[in-house]
Structure 1
Amino acid sequence: MRAVRGPRRTRGRAALAALAVSASLALTACGPAGETAGPAGSPGSAGPAGSSAPAGPSATAKAPTPAASKPTAAKPTGTKKPAAPGPSATCDHKMPIAPDLIAVNRYTPEGGSHNLIVRHGNWSCGTPEDGAHFEPVGKETFIPIAETAEITATAPIVEGSAPKKITLQQLIDWVVAHPDAGRPFRYHLGADGAIDTLDEIYLP
């Protein structure tokens, strides 16, 4: 009987050892890949079971400091230009158009008569001797001039500042050769409405 029990015990111990190996392999196969079962059935890790790195304090974004508003520099006020001098006390602009002054621009024989194309006006301020200039006003118009009109002229129509008598044809030739020259003249109308006297005003 003892010879029989020996082999049975050996086979029983071998079976228990095989079961233990099978159980160990089963536990290893069921765990996550790359992990081995640690103590108390918890997965192995570098630190203690259930421990994790303490979370640091949550970073709170620092509120941006408002930029200091720069004071607006006041722009330096430019020096005002002196106002242009106004007309002198002796300047009279109450009558913008003189009744006997014209600027002669061109000539036309339309209508079968001699006609001067002119603009009426007046002196800017003072007199020609004071440096005043003739200021035409309004649109161009034409005035007939008689063939017998008495005409005097100065420079640049004739030489010198002293008035000299010229004929109507001499006046016409100069005006045609110098259109829109605007030379100032003092004129007078005859009974027929045509110019009978025409005198150029010398401008220094």
Structure 2
Amino acid sequence: MKRSMMAKIAVGITAAALAIGLAGCSTAGSGASHPLTIGMPNGPQTNNNNPFMPTSAAAILGYTFLMYEPLAQVNPTLPDKAPTPWLASSWKWADDYKSVAITARDGVKWSDGKDFSVKDIAYTFNLVKKTPAFNGNALPLEDITTAGKTVTITFGASQFVNQPKVMNSYIVPEHIWSKISDPTTNVNAKPVGTGPYLLKTWTQQAITFTPNNS
């Protein structure tokens, strides 16, 4: 998405304690052409960018958010602050917090130029539902349905305390992931996301990203 990502990048880098060399920290939507290079601060990693796996290099080094985005931005340091709409333009929880209706944002494209849609949100949560290894938040997912631009996700119990976890979930493209035979072993060497950067090169010494101008 063509939004300012600088505050988000700063938070992610601090949290991950990364040693980062920045060359031109402009956002995806600003027409920047300079790369972002992340040094390897904590020993050898393998080129694994699976956004669902906590053992991937993307998770360990903290750069998943450069490529993938959530339904809403949640500030963990300000838990009382309402999440900022991101890939979701709006959402409405049921009174018992056992379901949420999420409306997909218009005008978003994946980094390969394909349109983002509500189908991607539904696919992502269905993927998490059927793949226990991807359900790190232990969400009791029961049913995922779509109508127009809205997806309704139903849970087996109240998700009042898990609202931030639901809305902060990374969304992946159905047209890419639905073709993967075993997503749990997919290293996602060429990530397609909606985030502000594209993975350019990956080595044991450094990872280089270029701005996503999609």
TM-score tier (shorter): under 0.3
Find the structure with the greater CA-based Rg. Answer: 1
Normalising by structure 1, report the TM-score.
Answer: 0.20
Q: Which one has more relative contact order, counting CA pairs under 8 Å at least 6 apart? A: 2
